Amino acid sequence: MLSISPPRLSLTLSFLLGLCTQLSHAHTAAPYLLPEQFDSKNNSVSLQSAITIEKFYSANRNYSTRFFSTTPDGIQQEIKPVANLERFSLLDLAIPQEGTYQIKTANQASSSIDYARIEGRWLRVRTERPATPSQPAMAAATPAQSRPTATSTVTTPEAARPRRFIYADEVPTNTPTAKTDVIQLAETYVTKGAPSTLPKPTGKGLELIPITHPNEVFADGSFEFKMQFDGKPLPKLTLELYRGASEYDEEQTQALGHIDTDDEGHAKIDFKNRTGIYLLFAQYPAASSDAVQQPPARLYNYGLTLQAAP
C-alpha cells in the first residue's frame, strides 16, 4: 500500500527551459520526457519531449515518435503533441483521475544509422559534405580519392583519435555495409493525489521496471529498479545518471557517475540528499569502443525522468 507523500517540488516548463546547463563530458544523445509537475493537483499536465546532449534540461533536437499514456486504471491512450518544434515537442495530457499516469514514447524506430566496414572498423556513413561558404570552389573541386581516407586521424588536444565516420562518396564499391535502427525510448510518471499501482511490463524491447514507485522518491532515500530486454533480466548493464542544474546552483555537478545492474538486472540509486530532477539513461546494446564489432540491427536509447523530492 503506497502512502501519500508530502508536497513535492513543483517546477514549470517555462522555468526549466530558462535554466542554463553545464556541458558534461558524455557525448551520448539521450531522449527525455519532462513534465511541468511530477505531483499535480490539476486536471492536466504539460510535458516537453526532446533529445538532450548537454545533460540535462537543454533540448538539443526533436525526433519523430508517438506518445502514449496509461491511466491509473490501466487504460492506454495515444497523446497527440500540441506543437512539434525544431528542438522539442510539447504535450498536454488530461489527468482527470487520481493516481499515477505513465507517459512514454513508442517502441519504434525513429531514425537509422548507416555503417561501412573500412579496414576492419565499422564507420558511420555521412552524406556528401556541403561546400563551405569560404571555400566553395575548393570543396567542390576536390576529388574523392584525394580527400582524407578512412584511416585518417583527427588530432585533438588530448591525442590523435581514429576516424569515427566516413562520407558516402568515400565508401569503396563492394564495401560491407550495415544499418542500425535507433529506438528512442523516453518515460516518466506523473501522480495526481496518492500514487497508485504502475502498469505491468510489456515484455517487449528494453524496459525499466520500478521497484520504488517513481513518484515516491526522496533525496534522503533511494530508487530501486530492474532492467530487462524482451522480458529477460539485463545483467551488468551500465546506466548513466544526470542531475538538472542551473548556473546558479552551488553544486553544479551534473554527471553523477554510472550505475551497473547486478546478475539479476537489479540496481539502486542513492541520491545522497541531492534534491532535483534526474535523467537516468541506458543504451542497449552497449556501443563498441573500438568499432570492430558489427553494429546491432537495433539500438535502444532509454531515458527515465524522475524527481528526488526534499
For residue range 63-92, list pLDDT tens digits in order: 999 999 999 999 999 999 999 999 999 999
Mean pLDDT score of the chain: 82
Q: Is 163 exposed, middle or buried (0-12, 13-18, 19+ CB in 10 A)?
A: middle
Higher per-residue pLDDT: 245 or 71: 71
φ/ψ of 136, rounded to 5, equals -65, -40
Given a cut of 90, is residue 255 above it in pLDDT?
no
What's the number of CA atoms in the CB half-sphere (13 Å) around residue 32? Answer: 30
φ/ψ of 249, rounded to 5, equals -70, 140
Distances (CA, A) of 250 to 154, 245, 253, 254, 292: 37, 9, 9, 12, 42
Q: What would the mean pLDDT of 56-69 be, rounded to a whole number? A: 86
Q: Which pLDDT score is estimated for 120?
A: 92
Q: For residue 68, give the 3-state DSSP assignment.
A: strand
Grid coordinates representing 135 are 571555400
Global model pTM greater than 0.95: no
Cβ neighbours of residue 73 under 8 Å, at least 6 residues apart?
97, 99
Quote the CA–CA distance of 196 and 198 in Å, as a whole number: 6
Q: Which pLDDT score is estimated for 29?
A: 84
For residue range 92-117, list pLDDT tens digits in order: 999 999 999 999 999 999 899 999 99
Q: Let me know: does 243 contact 276? Beta carbons within 8 Å.
A: yes
